[in-house]
Amino acid sequence: MIGKSGIGKTSQLWTLPPESTLFFDLEAGDLAVDGWQGDTIRPRTWPECRDFAVFIGGPNPALRDDQPYSQAHYEDVCKRFGDPSVLEKYETVFVDSITVAGRLCFQWCTGQPQAHSDKTGKPDMRGAYGLMGQEMIGWLTHLQHTRNKNIWFVGILDEKLDDFNRRVFSLQVEGSKTGLELPGIVDEVITLAELKDDDGAIYRSFVCRTLNPWGYPAKDRSGRLDLVEEPNLKKLMDKITGPGRPAPERLDFSRPTTTDTSNE
């Protein structure tokens, strides 16, 4: 779920049942959800982010013991964090936000050997960004593969103008690899956006389909969502897991029914 700063992304936590939701708080800006009764974890370093990812998602048996998210990494984290069965009560993990995770990751990467020249020992930003891309994609993919849980990543949406004065949207995150590859990793890309009705009144809505008249990033692998949906994450998940659309409707790639482009 992406959207510009201040539009209410973190506040979507209020739509989720607190008894079955884990708030993965990286922003440390939980004033918007002050009083929320659910459980919260607050990692402050990149190694802590990786530890929580393997604790939540379990080990990847294909990895060597010296790699993050391996069986050895998982066993070590379980010794420190306790019995992983405590996570069984959670149906949803709300990760806020990818933008901050990217900053923590990049800070960690700049201190690694790959971020320094072998010949001179001076910082090598190309090496740091390359390592960051690998780390972020590995982290996101591992969390996304968590079974029997809904994993929501929250990110800030950047809006810029290209050379032809057209609006271009992108995920605000250090480096380019994460923003380019993330849509291919996840099942859903939802933009929380401000739209205008026919009378010019502004309202918030989830934009859910790739072909939308505003150019917002969006993707719906379930085939169950309309072009725009009510900005309520719980209702959105219920619809995603509800009855599927008939095949002819899912394969209909005609122009979206809405013609409202007043906020372009």
Confidence at residue 112, expressed as pLDDT on a 0 to 100 scale: 95
Question: Along the 264 residues of the chain, how does pLDDT read in single tens digits?
Answer: 999 999 999 999 999 999 999 999 998 766 778 889 999 999 999 999 999 999 999 999 999 999 999 999 999 999 999 999 999 999 999 999 999 999 999 999 999 999 998 878 888 899 999 999 999 999 999 999 999 999 999 999 999 888 888 888 989 998 888 988 998 999 999 999 999 998 999 999 999 999 999 999 999 999 999 999 999 999 999 999 988 777 677 666 665 555 444 444
What's the CA gap between 199 and 204, in Å, rounded? Answer: 15
Give phi and psi for 168, each to the nearest 5.
-130, 130
Confidence at residue 261, expressed as pLDDT on a 0 to 100 scale: 43
Confidence at residue 27, expressed as pLDDT on a 0 to 100 scale: 86
What's the CA gap between 13 and 35, in Å, rounded? Answer: 11
Residue whose C-alpha is closest to residue 193's, from 177, 209, 175:
209
Confidence at residue 251, expressed as pLDDT on a 0 to 100 scale: 66
| Residue ranges of domains in the chain | 17-181, 187-243+252-264
> What secondary structure letter does DSSP report for 11?
G
DSSP 221-248: SSS---SEE-S-HHHHHHHHTSPPPPHH
Flag whether the pTM goes above 0.75.
yes
